[in-house]
Structure formats: structure tokens, C-alpha cells
Structure 1
Amino acid sequence: MHNTHRIHPTLPRRPAHFSRTGRVLLLAAALSLAIPVAAADKTMRDIPGAKDSPLLSRYEGSVLSAAGDDPLGFTRLVDVEGGKPVLRQVEGRITNRFYVAPKGTGALDVFRNYRQALEAAGFQVTYACEELQCRKDRTQRLVADLPREARGIGADVMARSMFNNGDQPGFNLISARKAGSNGDIRVQVAMSVDSGSGATAGRVQQLLQVVEPATAQAGKVTVDARAIGDTLRRDGKIALYGVHFDTSKAVLKPDSDGQLEQMAQALKAARDSRVFIVGHTDNQGDFENNLALSQRRAQAVAQALSTRFGIDASRMTARGVGNLAPVATNADEAGRARTRRVDLVLR
């Protein structure tokens, strides 16, 4: 296993790149060349169990005060329309982190370190503003609700009020994106200076959000026998996603048993029915291989229904059609997951 490094906003660096897993590999300089930074406050500690994003580390010496993750969700990030900043909803695997910088650190220094690190890693800046430009664009007011909306961040009192009513000092923001193999990876860092009188007064607060491509894993829901029967009578066919195979294989996985049992019950309830069992693949790989694979998978389903669940084999005809009948685009994983399926079709 190779050693990977996050983007680090304060160490000298050479150009970075993405590994196959999508993480940024930072070719860090030797420790002897590290830029001196303010020491972290000994009275503040990271919240238990939380870590930096695998993609982007904190500004050195900052304390992780709040964190939240969403394996698949929505958030809003800054984009540009007509030359002005706007908020756009984006979807994916979301990492939210809220940091407090060391005493004596300036917001502009934090901002420029993040920008330098992201650009060195090949990110394209979608929108960025330093304090004066942010004020002119009214950007802080635009994003004032984002800390309250962010999972794991909104419950933290300090984080919720980091932009207050959109007039906190030291506000800077950068929103950037980079194309990945499964879609764009987006990063946004917004910051302000705590203008209160508590322990963090005068420190730079940072809201970091990373959105990586993600899709819902299909096949988590089993369609029951009654719904299968009703749909077959109404539509003459039904697509089923609870039948699972490993990639490029035609051996049914154990977690398919629940869906197979419901299919069998539906066929037993309609004793005179005869059906096609149709296997579908996505368009990844060679067409002829996919066609043969879909045939073997359809046969595996028919065989299981016959030998394990008591359905007369003469009532079922197995056919594989490869990727000839997609129900969604094959251009992204979400569409491909919908296309990989087994259909029951009345003969």
C-alpha cells in the first residue's frame, strides 16, 4: 500500500496530482524546509474521533472544532453566473469541517495558503474573493446560512454564527473544482475572524466543505411478491434490483435470497403464468462479453428459482440482452446502476 498525503495548506510543495482513488498526493518538501507557523493553542483540542478530510488537510496548527459527513447528500456551493457569485446545489459524498486557526494568524494568510494548495493540486478556481472583493460582491451574506445547513456543523454554536448576519471581519472564500474519473470533485473554504470576546476571539474560523462524486447503491430494497404480481398484471414486466452479482460474474450473492423468494411467491400465486427472465448489463466492457454475461446471469436466476424455490423450470425462459435495453444513461455510475438489473416479463 503506497503512502498518500493530503493537500497541506502550509508546507512548501511541488505540483500535486490525483491517485486512482481520487485523493491528492502531495509531494511535500523536507521538514527542515517547513514554513514556521504559530503553535496550536494547548487549551483547545480536536473533537474526539474526528479527522481531516482525506482530500484536504487543515491549515497547520488549527483545531478541529466540529465535523460531519454525509455519504450521499446535497449542499450549496458558490458558483458564478453573469459575473456574480451565486449558490448552486450540488450532490455527492460530503465532508464538512470547522476549524479554528492558531492565535496571531491572519485570515488572508489562511486563505492564500488554501488557494495555493488547491491550485498546485490542479483544481480550477470557480470563484474566489478576498475581504474587500467579498464585501463588494456581498458574498458573506450569500453564504451566511451554509454553516447552519452543514451536517455536523450546524449544532456547534460557534460555527453557526461564524458569518453572523453576513458582516463578520476577515471574510475570504474560495470555491474550486477538479474533474475526476466519476465526476467533478468540489472544495469550498470560507473563513471569518471571530469578533466575540470568548476564548476564540480574534481567531480565523474556517468552514471547509468537500463534495466528491457518489451515487446511491442500488438493490437495497426488495420488491415484495404482491407488488411483483400487481406490476406484472398491469405492465407485463417489472425491473428488479435486489438480485446481486459480483462484477463480471454470474454467481448469485447470498443477499439475493430475499428478492428471489419474493419472485417465487409471485410466480406461485400466478400458477398459469409463464415468464421471461431477462438479464441486463451496463455498457462497460466488450459488448459480446456483456451479452454472454447477461445470459448466464438470467440462467442463474432461473435455476435458483427452480432448484431452490420450487418453480417449474418449464415456466421460465432465460434471456440475456447485454446493454441493449438501458433505462438510464450509461454516462455516469448512477445511470449504469439503474441499467444493471433483472426483469421479469410475461410471455
Structure 2
Amino acid sequence: MLLFLQVIVCITLVIAVGSWLSQSADIMAEKTGLGRTWVGTILLAGVTSLPELATGTSAIVIFNSPDLAVGGILGSCLFNLLILALLDICNGTEPLLKRAQISHGLAASLGCIMLGVTATGMMLSRTEINIAVGGVGIPSIILLILYFVSARMIAQFETRRRAEVLEEELEAFQYQHITPVQAYRRFVILSIFIVILGIWLAFLGDRVAAVTGLGASFVGALLLATATSLPEVVASLAAIRLNAVDLAVSNVFGSNITNLAILGFYDFIYHQGSFWLNISYTHIFTAAIAMIMTSVAITGLIYHAVSRSRMYITWDGLTLIFLYLGGMYVIYQDIF
């Protein structure tokens, strides 16, 4: 009973702090001049993904369970894409991805590439091909390089895009009464709080998972991933309420990019043999489903640029929900 009471209290605090964090990120987008896409993809996504980093590091260093850590990362990627469907439902009669900038396809495509690298790394680790350099897997190095390349590409793209619509962007932002120093301080403080709450929630989720006795792959992909992804859910929903659709969508795609960079980092702290070889084959399937879901989101992003309004939810939103539920079922069955 006490455990579930702690979960309720933690979730309540995450909802409150996450809402404030989204507004703070919106202010940061105006004050820095970087725009909602870059702030959501890199800054907000980086903060809301830190619970995954903390819980995954603990799983590897303390419990020597890279399988649980990777399950949490890839499961979080799946859940983040499910968030798009949830946001679509909450967005009203107009499709969510119709209101979003088509430039989000860049971050989504880069995330899809990183998922491909992840799946390839797991497959090659079962062959006689040497994929390690100095004890660290080449896929891990590629993932980290791709993250920094992605941040730079998105920043350059967003800078050029904002230069074309600068006057419109300025009309959309109304935070002149807040100084840059106040904006930075508020964002840092709220970021610290959301990270602490995210780690606490993940710890509580891990305790609940221990009671169930489920397998590491399923626990990591569903329970642990859901717990660590709650900050993304709250921040994105709050962004929708602020009418900051680009902030919400970029947070989803950016969180996946950050998560996969974190997966690459795990290899550097794992010293019990080959990191990629000690990952369950089940996660190849998880990565493949995440790639398919990302592709569906990219298709919806492009198609809805010229589509009409609809009721309740779009075809891509429904597809994301079915893919997520189907993927969780397969992982639970552990058919591999």
C-alpha cells in the first residue's frame, strides 16, 4: 500500500513540474532565438531523458544487467512514439502532425538511422565480425557521433528556417516580461527537479516490477520504460496546452535520439565482456518496431501537410497504437 501511495505522489509531482518545464522550455526557445524545434529536440528531450540514463547506468553498474538497461532504452523509444498518438487524440479535430513543422522529419529520420545502427550492432555481435575497438563497440561510437551530428544539423536547419519566418515567430512568442537570466535559472531548477522525480519514479517502477517476477526484456521494455518516459508525456501534453505543437513533437523525436546516444554510452561503462553480445536478441525486434513506428510518423508528418481535418484520431495515430501493443505482446511472449 505504501509503495503505491509513493507512486501516486511521485506521478502527481511529475505532472506539476513537467507542465512548468514545458512552459520554461517555450520561454527558452524565445530567449535563445533557437526556436521550439531545436529546444524541444535537444534541450527539453535531453532533460526528460536523463532518468533513462540514471536507471540504465544503475542496471549496468550495480546489477550487471545490460539487457535491462537496453530494454529500458528501446522500450522508451517505443513509448515515446506512442505519445504522438496520445497527443493526436488530445489535439482536437485537426491532426497533430498537420500543425507541426515538416522539418521534424529531419530529427525523426536521424532517429531511424540510429535505430538501424542499434539493430545492426546487435546482429553483428552474433557473427565472427569484430565490431569492437579498444573494448568499445563500433556501433556505440557511431551512435554517439550521430547524436552530435544530429544536434548540429537540426540547429543549422532551424536557424535557416527561422530566418525565413522570423516575423511570424516573434508574434507567436510573448515573454518580454521575463529576462533571459530568469528564463535560464528557471529552466535549470525545473530540470533538476524533473530528473530527481524521474529517477524516483523509475526506482518505484523497478520495485513494482520486482514483485511481478516478469522477465528483464519485458520489464525493461514496458514497466521501466513507461516510468522513465512519464516526464516526456507530461512535458509534451503541457506543450500542447500552450499551443506549442512543435515543442511537443520535437520532444518526442529528440528523446529517441537522446535515448540511443545513452545506449551508446552504456558500452563505455560496461566492463563484463562484449556489451552488444550480452543484449537479448529480443531487442532486435524492439528496434525494428521502433523503426517502423518512426517511419509511420514521418509518413503522417508529410501526408497531413495537405490532409483534411478528422475526428478523434488519425490513421497514423491508430497505427502507432496497434504497433506498440503488438510489439509489447511479442516481447512479453519472448518468442525469440
State if a TM-score over 0.5 links the two structures. no
Larger Cα-atom Rg? 1
TM-score by length of 1: 0.22
TM-score by length of 2: 0.23
Structure with the bigger percentage of helix: 2
Structure with the bigger percentage of strand: 1
Greater relative CO (CA pairs within 8 A, separation 6+): 2
